[in-house]
Amino acid sequence: MNPSFVPIDGTPFLVASAIKLIVFFSVYLVTVAMLTLAERKVSAWIQDRHGPNRTGPGGLLQPAADGLKNLMKEELAPSAGHGVLFTLAPAIAFCTALVSWAVIPFAAPLPTPWGLVPMALAELPVGFLFTLAISSLGVYGLTLAGWASNNKYSLLGGLRSSAQMVSYEIAMGMSIIPVLLLTGNVALDSIIRQQAAGGWNVLNLTVAFFVFVNAAFAETNRLPFDLPEAESELVAGYHTEYSSMRFSMFFIAEYANMLTASGLMATLFLGGWDIPFTRWDDTGDPSVLKTVATLGSFLLKTGAFLFFYMWIRWTLPRFRYDQLMSLGWKVLLPLMLGYIVLVAAVLLALQAAGIGAGWARTGILLALNVVVLATMFFVVDRGRLLSPTTQRLKRVDVDRLRGRAIERSPLAAGRRAELMGD
């Protein structure tokens, strides 16, 4: 066997791991910084304006200018707050956001003279369970920031964040169970190869994808789920009292979590680094060309989700808090409980019928998902659960409200004055 195709081990493994760590986290932090510029550019494009365009060519140096500004600002801390926890909170949020990516494979394995190098920082057998476990620890940073600030707005933001993450963490975890049922493995590399052979999970498990996307928005505190830092209600939420680089670390953590969630969505439901409509990338001998091509495929999918994050932020208003909790507990959780049972039953039936991984199974599961989504939106919901602000009024009530509006209008008041004068 070619030594380049044997898994790397020993000293070369340690050297390769160190190189991956240095290169990846350097690129990761630069990418997170540039996402702040991308957010402002996307918002400017949606609102038909220019956005940052004066610092560097096309505004490319704006993140560096923002970072320098925050670095030179004065570090302020509330005198009545808890000093140690106040400083530790942004570090917890920042570190958990960075470590969450460690197990996500971002390309096909790279052949080297010393062996085959996996394109993941840590190829753990527990796969995405590690990512879920580490990312869920980030809520401690937000909660501690709210409590240690000794500020009522910060405390309310921290409490909202903890309640929101607990609520949607359950839905997110349950949305991945159908992926496990389909793959039979929790390793992310195995999930990618299963999708390459049997169709992407966005087709096989559309309902689970829908729930996972909603839960990912809530977990990252992005609109329309940004209740923990609702400016119109809580000033700035849990980081109201923060300034300088402590303040920046929360924003770095937010964009890092966005990047991790986008990478996880691309891996679990869009085939990860798999190139669509071809088996060239996941069959045959590994090569440098395959590694580069699959890296490009993964970056495109992750970038599409990042753009979707920004698009939604500048398009939809935020939910009310009761709507947010209602969606998590009354809609997503019961939906996933029933969907898990349904998928398990269908997979058992397909296995008994001798239908394995392939386009036949994908077609059957896709039809099942279309039926479930149509039933949920057009039969069960009908604008009542997913849109609790809407209310169906009887025709008599509508006419009565219109009559009152007409009576109170300036034209009606003027007409009454004319009649009284006559």
The pTM assigned to this predicted structure is: 0.83
17 within domain boundaries: no
Distance (Å, rounded) from C-alpha 61 to C-alpha 231? 27
> What pLDDT does 388 receive?
47
Claim to verify: residue 163 and residue 190 sit in the same structural domain: yes
Asked whether residue 333 falls in the same domain as residue 353, the answer is yes
Same domain, residue pair 126 and 69: yes
CA distance 18 to 396: 72
Q: Which residues contact 367 (CB under 8 A, 6 or more apart)?
A: none
CB 306 within 8 A of CB 35: yes
Tell me: do 109 and 258 sit in the same domain.
Answer: yes
Q: Would 44 be classed as within a structural domain?
A: no
pLDDT at 300: 93
Closest of 191, 175, 193 to residue 183, by C-alpha = 191
Q: Which are the contacts of 150, defined by CB distance < 8 A and separation ≥ 6? A: 78, 80, 81, 82, 241
Dihedral, CA of residue 376, residue 377, residue 382 and residue 385, to nearest 10: 70
Residues 379 and 416 in one domain: no
Are 70 and 178 part of one and the same domain?
yes
421 and 314 share one domain: no
Whether the Cβ atoms of residue 85 and residue 144 lie closer than 8 Å to each other: yes
Determine the pLDDT at residue 389.
Answer: 46
- Same structural domain, 310 and 397: no
The reply to whether 18 falls in a domain is no
Domain assignment present for residue 250? The answer is yes
Cβ contacts of 229 within 8 Å, gap of 6 or more: 157, 221, 236, 237, 238, 239
Q: Torsions phi, psi of 112, nearest 5?
A: -130, 165
Same domain, residue pair 329 and 190: yes
How buried is 4 (Cβ within 10 angstroms: 0-12 exposed, 13-18 middle, 19+ buried)?
middle
The whole domain housing 367 covers 64-391
Tell me: do 206 and 313 sit in the same domain.
Answer: yes
pLDDT digit of tens for each residue in the chain (422 aa)? 565 567 777 788 888 888 888 888 888 888 888 888 888 899 898 888 888 888 888 888 888 888 888 888 777 777 777 778 888 888 888 888 888 888 888 888 888 888 888 888 888 887 778 888 888 888 888 888 888 888 877 888 778 878 888 888 888 889 989 998 888 888 888 888 888 887 888 888 899 999 999 888 888 888 788 776 666 666 667 777 777 788 888 888 888 888 988 999 999 999 888 888 888 887 778 888 888 999 999 999 999 999 999 998 888 877 777 778 888 888 888 889 999 999 999 989 988 888 877 778 888 888 998 988 888 877 776 655 555 445 556 677 777 877 777 676 665 555 555 545 55
Tell me, yes or no, whether 382 and 407 share the same domain. no
Predicted pLDDT at 160: 80
Note whether 287 and 420 are same-domain residues: no
- Integer Cα distance of 146 and 371 in angstroms: 44
How many domains is the chain built from? 2
Whose structure tokens read 């997979």? 347
Among residues 294, 298, 270, 271, the alpha carbon closest in space to that of 108 is found at 294
Q: Which two tokens stand for residue 86?
A: 């106040």
pLDDT at 4: 57
The angle at the Cα of 331, spanning 329 to 334, to the nearest 5 degrees, equals 80
- 64: which residues sit within 8 A by CB, 6+ positions away? 33, 55, 56
In this predicted structure, what is the pLDDT of residue 305?
92
